Amino acid sequence: MVSAFPLASLLVRLERERNTVKRNPSQSRTLVSFRTALAYSDRMALPFGAMSGMAAGSVTVPSLRAGECQVWWASPAAGRSELLALLDAGEHARWSRFRRDEDRARYLAAHALARLVLAGHLGTSAAELGFSAVCRHCGGTDHGKPRLLTGGIEFSLSHSGERVVLAVTRDAAVGVDVEQLNPRRDVAALIPEILSATERRALAALPAAASALALLRYWTRKEALLKATGDGLAVALSTITVTPPPAPPALVAWAAAPPLEAEAHLFDLNPGPGHVASLAVLGPRLAVVERDADGLLAALPFAGSA
């Protein structure tokens, strides 16, 4: 497992090393550049909810039009305990295994959000929706791309830091990824695992202050693609090449196996300050509409939710 998924094992190691880094932060050039990136992202990001097309505080699920991808943003704090009633036994068991409150809150907000939005689009009960997660590589049933048993709507979930995100559409496979800018994480160690040779050259040409943010942008664009296909980190991120940030997002080369089965479209999302997020769509180019979900999660009992 460890040798098959070097990025996953590296991430675990980096999390373990966080305390060491915390004790001696002034010695890391990457940490300094990450702090600069964080400050830059906070200055440049639109306040959450201010971007065009975002409906703040919505308590209904607007219909999902043909050619549209809805992207719903929630905060972990919206994952209040009343929402547990929407989860099935497997989700409930997984929620209860998280040791940290913030992990439980993110998980609950994400899964309740997925159930509420999907049920709203299908005109059914959120608590009764059934999901599968079959791995396309080994057939395992607990780590593949989550799908509705009934089909009909494609979706993808991601959660990191203060953001929880759900992408839904009727028209194409989708993958979404959000990552928090974490000044304590030594992302430079991830470069060989994340970037292709072309991308490494492009990153090296950037000023140090821009490179940490650019690296995270590369990461989210590529992980979004691998979540759209369902491969996840079973496929090495470095086998994919995307356009260099801040260029508009697009796939440049896919050397991974299995090959892509549909045209890929990438979008940079706006998660708000301190986070970077990307969306991948495999199929036709869709119109992306970002929405605030906190009102929806706060609005239980919700028509059609239980």
Ligand X SMILES: CC(C)(COP(=O)(O)OP(=O)(O)OC[C@H]1O[C@@H](n2cnc3c(N)ncnc32)[C@H](O)[C@@H]1OP(=O)(O)O)[C@@H](O)C(=O)NCCC(=O)NCCS
- Please give the residue ranges that form the binding site for ligand X (CB under 6 A): 107, 110, 135, 137-138, 143-146, 156-160, 177, 223, 227, 230, 232-234
Closest to ligand X by CB, 232 vs 249, is 232
Nearest CA-CA partner of 175 in 81, 85, 93, 240 = 240
Minimum CB separation of residue 146 from ligand X in Å reads 5
| Pairwise CA distance, residues 293 & 166, whole Å | 9
β-strands 68-74, 287-292: how paired?
Answer: parallel
Rounded CA-CA distance 185/12 in Å is 11
Distance of CA 193 to the CA centre of its chain: 18
- What does residue 281 show for φ and ψ, rounded to 5 degrees? -125, 130
**Residue 120 or 230 with smaller CB distance to ligand X:** 230
Considering the complex, state which of residue 121 and residue 222 has its C-beta at the smaller distance from ligand X: 222
Candidates 185, 186, 91, 188; CA nearest to 142 is 91
Would you say 145 or 291 has its CB closer to ligand X?
Answer: 145
Q: How far is the CB of 236 from ligand X (least distance, A)?
A: 11
Q: How far is the CB of 175 from ligand X (least distance, A)?
A: 6
**Residue facing ligand X at closest CB distance:** 232
What residues contact residue 207 under an 8 Å CB cut-off, 6+ apart? Answer: none
Q: Which two tokens stand for residue 267?
A: 């979008």
Residue 306 exposed, middle or buried by CB count within 10 Å (0-12, 13-18, 19+): middle
Least distance from ligand X to the Cβ atom of residue 157, Å: 4
Alpha-carbon gap, residue 298 to 306, rounded angstroms: 14
- Token pair listed for 237: 């991120």
Minimum CB–partner distance for residue 227 and ligand X (Å):
4
Which CB sits closer to ligand X, 177 or 199?
177
Residue 159 or 275: the one with the smaller Cβ distance to ligand X is: 159
- Least CB distance from residue 125 to ligand X, whole Å? 20
